[in-house]
Each structure stands twice: as C-alpha cells, then as structure tokens.
Amino acid sequence: MRIHVIRAPTLPAALAQVRDAFGDEAIVLDTAESAQGVAIRIGIESDIPAPPQAPGAASPAAASGPAAVVAQARTKAVSSVADRVAEALAWHGAPPLVTRSLLLAVEADSADTPEAALANALNRVFRFGRPDNLATPLALVGPPGSGKTATLAKLAAARSLAGADIALINADIETAGARERIGAFAAALDVTAHEANAAADIDAAIAKIGPDTAIFVDTSGRAPADAEDIDGLAQEIAAAGNGVLVLPATTAPVEAAELAECFAAAGATELIMTQLDIARRVGGLLAAADAGDLIIAGVSVGRRVGDGLKALTGASLARLILATPLPLAKPRRPAAVSRPVTSYAAHGAAA
C-alpha cells in the first residue's frame, strides 16, 4: 500500500482532492487539523502515484472550455454543501469517523442542498426503524436513569391503543420504586405485571403469557464495566429474544459510543434516544448508532407517556442537524424581596 498526504484549507476541499485524484481506490487512514488547514493521510492499494501538486498549479476544473466551467461550478457547489454539513456535524459533536463517512457520502452525492445531501448520506451510513415495528418480546436495556421504564410505558401504551394485547415483565427488582412504577403502568393499561428475578423467570413468564401478546421487559440499569452485570443482562436479552438500548440524548458522544458498543455486545440491536427535547446536540445519537451498529428505532421528545415516541428518518435527522440552534434561555431575575435584617448580636441580646 502506498501512503499519500493530501492538504487543503478545509476537510471537504481535501476530500474533493482525494476523490478527483484516486476515485474509490483511496482508503482514508486519518485526518489532522491545524491553523494551516487539513491534512488527510490516505492509503492506495495500487502502485499509481499521486498526481504532482505543484505550488500554484491550476486544478483540472480551472482549465478553459465550457466543460471545465461546468466542472468548476459543480466543485464549488459541492464544496459549499459539504462545508455547511461539516460545520453542523462539528457543532453537534459528531465523532470523527462518523463525520468522515458522512462527508464522503455528501461529496459523492449529486444533491444541490445541504439538507438533501445529508439526508442521503445518513441513509447510506445508518439504518432507521420505527418504534411501532420493534419486535417483541422486547427487553429495554441501558444504564441507570436512561429512561427505560418511561420508554416501556410509551411503547406499551402505543401498542395497546393500536389494539394489541399487552403484557409487562419487571426484571428490575432491586431498584427502589421500580415495582411500583411498573404496577402503576400495568393498572393504567389494565394488564398484569409479571416479575422476574433472573433470565429463567423471564423465559417462564413469556411461555406462560403466550405468543399473541406484545411483551415488554423492563431490566435494571447495568454498569458497562461490570462483567458480571453485563453477562446477566445478555442472558435476559437472550431470554426475551430482542433488545433495544435506551440512552439519553444528553450523553456525551464518547460515553454514548462506549455504552452502545457494550450493550450491543450483550444483544441489543436497536436504539431509542430519550430526552431529545432537552438535548441541543445529537452527537451522542450518531456515536451510539455507529459504535453499536444499532438501528435507530426512535426518539422520545416528551416526559409524559402520552407524548409517545417518534420515528426518525434520514430526512428528519438531517433537518435536526442542520437547524439553527436555539439560543439558551436566560431567565429574568425575580424582583428582590425586602426583608428585615436581624444581626446575631440582636439574637444574643434577645436571648
């Protein structure tokens, strides 16, 4: 393999040079940014050397003739689209590898707008599902406090409204209040809440409930660094047959990637992100879906069960990424309340 380094003022411009020079043969190894611009290190399987880049030399698009003028305009348009996408991905904190994959797809796309190009790129890089298409029995898994129980309630309520028979299994026995929350949801849906202390109990409950019922299993929050914890969770997911990872959208991308990789190894195949109405960035979503190779099944955008879950598509996620960020709210200071000041000395005198 021959190694080449391509330098340009911006990442999209560098990727365009890579594409023009090597086409699909280039393997991007890494990128580096500095005050002088961006450098991309690529590997080429063939022995074809890189075209010389003499200082001040005109690019192929700068040649004369109508075809060259069209090519130059197309290069500028693609660069402008890619620059806008790159800027948005950077603001959202998208991981470098995800950004690279998406920008390469944007560069290869013929769409004229950032939204259309990014939507197509997202559909190439990620897989999208729907919360109402999640297969059951389904175990909801994730770290403590990720919103598993509330997500279970939203999934169960939606299936119940659609006319399906529902059953709930609570495998979160040790968490304070978990039994009461599941019991309250079961009572509201007029269904039975079963309890399970281990994977064998989940298997037995599923067998007892029967095959024509949508079954949702609430699991306890697990620590990704606890091997025994994760082994137990893998058995619970296997007993249920399907697992969906529930993560807050406020999770930092690096943490989201590590959590997704861990829970995917335990058997989770899909992803639901909660608290999307709170998070201003979706870098954690992109990181988790990429690291765990998870299907993006839906997002939660409200705290009430009635708010339900929403499906994402490449187009809707592209709009979310490219939308102008809302400014942070600045609360008005309440009017000062005038109160009499009593000194410690006065208290002592009164005593």
Residues 210 and 291 both lie in one domain: yes
Whether 81 is covered by a domain: the verdict is: yes
In whole angstroms, what is the distance from residue 107 CA to residue 104 CA?
5
Residues 140 and 121 both lie in one domain: no
In whole angstroms, what is the distance from residue 241 CA to residue 265 CA?
14
Domain endpoint, select from 96, 125, 154 = 125
Domain endpoint, select from 93, 110, 125 = 125
More confident residue, 254 or 2: 254
Whether 298 is covered by a domain: the verdict is: yes
Residues 138 and 106 both lie in one domain: no
Whether 347 is covered by a domain: the verdict is: no
| Residue 97: per-residue pLDDT | 92
Residues 177 and 83 both lie in one domain: no
Residues 162 and 138 both lie in one domain: yes
Whether 338 is covered by a domain: the verdict is: no
Residues 191 and 270 both lie in one domain: yes
pLDDT reading at 195 higher than 70: yes
Computed over every residue of the chain, the mean pLDDT equals 84
Domain endpoint, select from 125, 141, 162 = 125
Kindly report the CATH number assigned to the domain that includes residue 270: 3.40.50.300
For residue range 67-80, list pLDDT tens digits in order. Answer: 444 444 444 555 68
Whether 57 is covered by a domain: the verdict is: no
Whether 8 is covered by a domain: the verdict is: yes
Residues 87 and 136 both lie in one domain: no
pLDDT reading at 347 higher than 80: no
Question: Under 8 Å CB-to-CB from 105, ≥6 apart: which residues?
Answer: 120, 121, 124, 125
Q: Name the one residue in this structure whose structure tokens are 């305009």.
A: 73
Residues 172 and 273 both lie in one domain: yes
For residue range 94-139, list pLDDT tens digits in order. Answer: 999 999 999 989 988 888 899 999 999 999 999 999 999 999 999 9
More confident residue, 28 or 333: 333
Whether 344 is covered by a domain: the verdict is: no
Residues 20 and 155 both lie in one domain: no
Q: What is the pTM of this model?
A: 0.75
Burial class (CB in 10 A: 0-12, 13-18, 19+), 236: buried
| Residue 142: per-residue pLDDT | 94
Domain count, the chain: 2
Q: Decide if 94 contacts 286 (C-beta within 8 A).
A: yes
Residues 138 and 247 both lie in one domain: yes
Whether 245 is covered by a domain: the verdict is: yes
Residues 121 and 146 both lie in one domain: no
Provide the residue range defining the domain that includes 191. 131-322
Residues 230 and 119 both lie in one domain: no
Q: Is the peptide bond before 137 cis (omega within 30 degrees of 0)?
A: yes
